[in-house]
Amino acid sequence: MSNSKKQFWWNNAQHRSLFFQVLLVALLVGFFWFIGSNTLTNLERRGISTGFGFLSQVSGFGIIQHLIPFDETYTFGRTFLVGLLNTLLVSAVGIVFATIIGVVVGVARLSNNWLIAKLAMVYIEIFRNIPLLLQMFFWYFAVLRTLPAPKQSWSAGDVIFLNIRGLYLPEPIFGPGFNFVFWALGLAIVTTLFISRWAKLRQEQTGKQFKTMTVGAGLIFGLPTIVFFLADASLSWNVPALKGFNFRGGITIIPEFTALLTALSIYTGAFIAEVVRSGIMAVNSGQTEAASALGLHKNRILKLVVIPQAMRVIIPQLTSQYLNLVKNSSLATAIGYPDLVAVFAGTTLNQTGQAIEVIAMTMGVYLFLSLSISAFMNWYNKKMMLVER
Amino acid sequence: MRKITWSIVAVVVALFISAGLAQASTKDEVQKRGYLQCGVSTGLPGFSNPDEKGTWTGLDVDVCKAIAAATLGDATKIKYVPLNAKERFTALQSGEIDALVRGTTWTLTRDSSLGLNFTGVNYYDGQGFLVSKKLGVKSALELDGAAVCIQGGTTTELNLADYFKEKKMEYKPVVFDTHDATAKAFDNGRCDVLTSDQSQLYGLRTHLSKPADAIVLPEVISKEPLGPVVRQGDDAWFNIVKWALNAMIEAEEMGVTQANVDEMKKSKNPGVRRLLGVDGIGGKGLGLNDDWAYQIIKQVGNYGEIFERNVGKGSPLQIERGLNALWSKGGIMYAPPLR
């Protein structure tokens, strides 16, 4: 510190800035504390219950689609999990489909074939410019309507049935000894990963190529099959059957899920297609020409030169499309799909009346999901960035 | 720097002051504002439904009108706020509306833990089932395994679960946000059954593409007393909403109608004179004009009139009075004496 006699602490720039920072933090904490306590006092004064005790109360209502066991006797806390899993399911599958659609259409948009390029353009311009909610209504109320009633179901070999109530598939029932098959599958996948790593290293060192794809596919399909017969594992199917009004047994894919998934994938796919197109176009044509001058095959140019460079442009934009898809899945409530918003921020909120807690939890979940996706995509982006040697 | 610090201080002080202000009473607020904010459904024929011109009609709407007539002396000074089942309580709790008249079932949980009070019952209802005639079902007990369309966030969802559990039957709930979406899905054949309060079933049936193809099953599986709701803690307002409805029921019992109310003012019957504010306490206890009940009957009508006009013989719904008849005529509609 300074030796000067008349040096007050506020004359020291460092101390002063520290003081103001502490003051700011104190004000912020005070502000939020005030908001919180004010809310609580007012809720209490108006006789509205608060707290998270409701999560352990019995819910008393049913949910049509649950990935974990659920019925009326489970708690409100469980409804949260059921809703969350339903949201995750439709988001995860939606992201996969939207990406596939997006990549295919994005590449098709750049095709030299006039018809394919124009078709891709028409698709993008139509689905990108119609509100998502309308598209959901279209799939759910217009397309669904054409499906037959349960008694006139369309069937494939009397094991798969399709009607207005959903798609009914046979459910596999794994008999004893089947866990060996799962172990074998896990082993095959891990081995394939190692082989691909080793092949990459070998190619870098010696230039020799290894057919990872063929070997991997053989392992993943072959090994479990062999084990299946060796372990004498049994596998039976629970085939859906029409009983009373509806099909029972098997796996049901409800039409709400299908409609929501279709709308989300097609809508987001249109945006991703444009992202992919922009990424590919961002790669300088000199790069492609240089690669072909080296004598690389067309496919290898795409795989080794264009895509790695395009990815750097694509990934950051792709992240926001994924985030949009997850958040848009909350429109599910309009067509009766039991997602987190419909089940938890809908029915549960209404039965308990604890809006603040329920909405805070729901917002927390979406925030957490979005941040997780962002973090993952940022990590992936870093991995794909230009490696300077 | 000093400027910023001072502005922060000013903001914080302003926040404390605004939070410290006491809430004005709802009655004063409504009278100062000049109109009533009434929460109704997003469209349910017979109870609260807007026509092509945006004019709201229905049994619930008429209760809103009665409150406005009593408080403001003018039944037309209302801003209707359409709410779905999920939004309704939050809208009332947050003060977005002054009263909620939206076919809301009076239950212990709602009365005791939401910070709300039910002021009475304007329609005694019960949950029923609407099915397609093609199904060939005669009783709700034959509904095992059925897919059921419901509007989410209602007591209906809970009653349904209870009923099917008690009868050891399975069901698939398909839950929608609004009456419209629920009816549309049922119409499309997504569900075998549409369940709701019976009164609503008759209304929703008129929305179907072929109303004659659907029937309401005879079973009533629950008690659904539907009534107006206000915020807890404002007793003066609670009293006004409560007695606006009571006055309409009392008027029917006394035979005072919209048409004869002016004549009745000259009546010798002390009960009628008290009701119309000629004698007795008038509006002093409620803090209203003495002719508050007269205004309700003159501008809106008595309970029997609003019933028949909206859901009874004068409407497409053709619902019988049943439980909703006066206590003296075999029903349970009963108003405490206005004296």
CA distance B100 to B86: 13
Q: Could you tell me which chain A residue has the CA closest to the CA of B23?
A: A42
pLDDT at B15: 46
Categorize the per-residue pLDDT at B10 as very low, low, confident or very high, splitting at 50, 70 and 90: low
Q: A-contacting residues of B 146-165, CB under 8 Å? A: 146-147, 152-154, 157-158, 160-162, 164-165
Half-sphere exposure of A337 (CA within 13 A, CB side): 32
**Are the beta carbons of B19 and A30 separated by less than 8 Å?**
no
A325 Cβ neighbours under 8 A, 6+ residues apart: A91, A94, A95, A98, A264, A268
Q: Which residues pair with B50 in a beta bridge?
A: B56
pLDDT at B20: 40
Decide the pairing of beta strands B146-151 and B171-176.
Answer: parallel
H/E stretch holding B196:
strand B193-197
Residues in chain B: 339
Q: How many CB atoms lie within 10 A of CB B11?
A: 12
Q: Which long-range contacts (CB under 8 A, 24 or more apart) does A142-151 make?
A: A143/A259, A144/A255, A144/A259, A144/B188, A144/B190, A145/B188, A145/B189, A147/A255, A149/B189, A150/A242, A150/A245, A150/A246, A150/A247, A151/A242
Q: Which residues of B touch A355 (CB under 8 A)?
A: 89-90, 93
- Per-residue pLDDT reduced to its tens digit, A12-56: 888 888 999 999 999 999 999 999 898 888 888 777 778 888 899
pLDDT at B18: 45
Q: Is B191 helix (H, G, I), strand (E, B) or coil?
A: coil
Percent of chain B past pLDDT 90, that is, above it, reads: 57
Task: Quote the tokens at residue A377.
Answer: 């995509």
Using a CB–CB cutoff of 8 Å, tell me whether B234 touches chain A.
Answer: no
Closest CA to A87 of A311, A274, A279, A330: A330
Q: Is A180 helix (H, G, I), strand (E, B) or coil?
A: helix
Q: In whole numbers, what is the pLDDT of chain B averaged over residues?
A: 88
Q: Which residues of B touch A246 (CB under 8 A)?
A: 145-147, 172, 192
Closest CA to B303 of B262, B244, B261, B260: B244
Closest CA to A44 of B232, B117, B238, B237: B232
Q: Could you tell me which chain A residue has the CA closest to the CA of B179?
A: A334
Q: Would you list the DSSP string of B257-317? A: -TTTHHHHTT---HHHHHHTTSSSSTTTTTTS-TTHHHHHHHHT--HHHHHHHHTSTTSTT
Q: Could you tell me which chain A residue has the CA closest to the CA of B156?
A: A61
- Distance of alpha carbon A315 from the chain centroid: 15
Query: To probe the interface with A, which of B151, B188, B192, B194 has the most A CB atoms within 10 Å?
Result: B188
Query: To probe the interface with B, which of A252, A351, A358, A359 has the most B CB atoms within 10 Å?
Result: A351
Give domain A76-146+255-384's CATH architecture: Orthogonal Bundle (1.10)
For the ranges A238-252, B27-41, B42-56, B175-189, the maximum mean pLDDT occurs at B27-41
Return the minimum-mean-pLDDT range out of A238-242, A332-336, B127-131, B218-222.
Answer: A238-242
Provide mean pLDDT across the span B151-161. Answer: 85
Using a CB–CB cutoff of 8 Å, tell me whether B233 touches chain A.
Answer: yes
B85 vs chain A: nearest CA distance in angstroms? 8
Query: To probe the interface with B, which of A39, A46, A76, A136 has the most B CB atoms within 10 Å?
Result: A46
Instruction: Please list the residue range(s) of chain B that carry CATH number 3.40.190.10.
Output: 26-124+225-329, 127-222
Using a CB–CB cutoff of 8 Å, tell me whether B212 touches chain A.
Answer: no
Give the one of A144, A256, A333 whose C-beta lies nearest to B188's C-beta.
A144
Residues in chain A: 389
- CATH code at B26-124+225-329: 3.40.190.10
Task: Quote the tokens at residue B55.
Answer: 């004019």
Burial class (CB in 10 A: 0-12, 13-18, 19+), A199: middle
A31 vs chain B: nearest CA distance in angstroms? 8
B212 vs chain A: nearest CA distance in angstroms? 19
Task: Quote the tokens at residue B57.
Answer: 């009609």
**Are the beta carbons of B152 and A347 separated by less than 8 Å?**
yes
Return the minimum-mean-pLDDT range out of A55-69, B21-35, B41-55, B221-235.
Answer: B21-35
Asked if residues A147 and A141 have their Cβ atoms less than 8 Å apart, the reply is no
Half-sphere exposure of B218 (CA within 13 A, CB side): 5
Phi-psi category of residue A328: left, alpha or beta, with phi > 0 → left and psi -120 to 50 → alpha: alpha
Number of DSSP helices (H) and strands (E) in chain A, helices first: 13, 8
**Are the beta carbons of A46 and B93 separated by less than 8 Å?**
yes
Residue with the bigger pLDDT between B131 and A386: it is B131
pLDDT at B16: 46
Q: Which residues of B touch A164 (CB under 8 A)?
A: 188-190
Euclidean distance between the first and the last CA atom of chain A, given in angstroms as a whole number: 46
Q: Which residue has the tokens 């230039």?
A: A207
Query: To probe the interface with B, which of A61, A82, A348, A356 has the most B CB atoms within 10 Å?
Result: A61
Taking the CA atoms of B171, B173, B179 and B181 in sequence, report the sign of the dihedral they define: negative
**Are the beta carbons of A245 and B160 separated by less than 8 Å?**
no
**Are the beta carbons of B233 and A47 separated by less than 8 Å?**
yes
- Per-residue pLDDT reduced to its tens digit, A135-172: 999 999 888 888 888 888 888 888 888 888 888 988 88
- Residues B127-222: name the CATH superfamily: Periplasmic binding protein-like II (3.40.190.10)
CA distance B182 to B152: 9
Give the one of A48, A145, A342 whose C-beta lies nearest to B152's C-beta.
A342
Q: Is A49 helix (H, G, I), strand (E, B) or coil?
A: coil
Closest CA to B306 of B47, B45, B20, B8: B47
- Per-residue pLDDT reduced to its tens digit, B192-215: 999 998 888 888 888 888 888 898
Q: Which residues of A touch B90 (CB under 8 A)?
A: 355
Q: Which residues of B touch A27 (CB under 8 A)?
A: 8, 12
pLDDT at B199: 84
Q: CA–CA distance from B200 to each of A120, B48, B106, B197 (Å)? A: 47, 11, 16, 5
pLDDT at A24: 95
pLDDT at B4: 52
Question: What interhelical angle do A255-281 and A307-328 show, nearest 10?
Answer: 150
Categorize the per-residue pLDDT at B22 as very low, low, confident or very high, splitting at 50, 70 and 90: very low
Q: Where are the alpha helices (DSSP H) in B38-167?
A: 59-72, 88-93, 108-113, 155-166
Asked if residues B135 and B145 have their Cβ atoms less than 8 Å apart, the reply is no
Exposed e or buried b for every residue in B293-316, given b needs 16+ CB within 10 A?
bbbbbbbbbbbbbbbebbbbeebe
Return the minimum-mean-pLDDT range out of A237-251, A279-293, B104-118, B230-244.
Answer: A237-251
Asked if residues B188 and B149 have their Cβ atoms less than 8 Å apart, the reply is no
pLDDT at A151: 83
Instruction: Write down the domain spans for chain A.
Output: 13-45, 76-146+255-384
Task: Quote the tokens at residue B215.
Answer: 């029937």
Q: Which residue has the tokens 């848009």?
A: A328
Task: Quote the tokens at residue A345.
Answer: 């921020």
Burial class (CB in 10 A: 0-12, 13-18, 19+), A284: exposed
Using a CB–CB cutoff of 8 Å, tell me whether B129 touches chain A.
Answer: no
**Are the beta carbons of A144 and B190 separated by less than 8 Å?**
yes
Using a CB–CB cutoff of 8 Å, tell me whether B209 touches chain A.
Answer: no
- Per-residue pLDDT reduced to its tens digit, B47-70: 999 988 989 999 999 999 999 999
Give the one of B158, B188, B192 whose C-beta lies nearest to A61's C-beta.
B158
Q: Is B130 helix (H, G, I), strand (E, B) or coil?
A: strand
Q: Could you tell me which chain A residue has the CA closest to the CA of B137?
A: A245
Q: Is the ipTM of this complex over 0.90?
A: no
Give the one of B113, B147, B177 whose C-beta lies nearest to A165's C-beta.
B147
B203 vs chain A: nearest CA distance in angstroms? 21
CA distance A318 to A276: 9
Give the one of B86, B144, B165 whose C-beta lies nearest to A244's C-beta.
B144
Residue with the bigger pLDDT between A111 and B333: it is B333
Q: Which residues pair with B130 in a beta bridge?
A: B194, B216
Kindly give the parts of chain A with pLDDT less than 50: 1-2
Q: Does residue B76 register a pLDDT over 90? A: yes
**Are the beta carbons of A246 and B146 separated by less than 8 Å?**
yes
**Are the beta carbons of A255 and B8 separated by less than 8 Å?**
no
Question: What interhelical angle do B235-254 and B26-33 show, nearest 10?
Answer: 80
Q: How many CB atoms lie within 10 A of CB B104?
A: 25
CA distance B82 to A247: 38
CA distance B155 to B105: 7
Using a CB–CB cutoff of 8 Å, tell me whether B85 touches chain A.
Answer: yes
Using a CB–CB cutoff of 8 Å, tell me whether B169 touches chain A.
Answer: no
**Are the beta carbons of B109 and A30 separated by less than 8 Å?**
no
B105 vs chain A: nearest CA distance in angstroms? 12
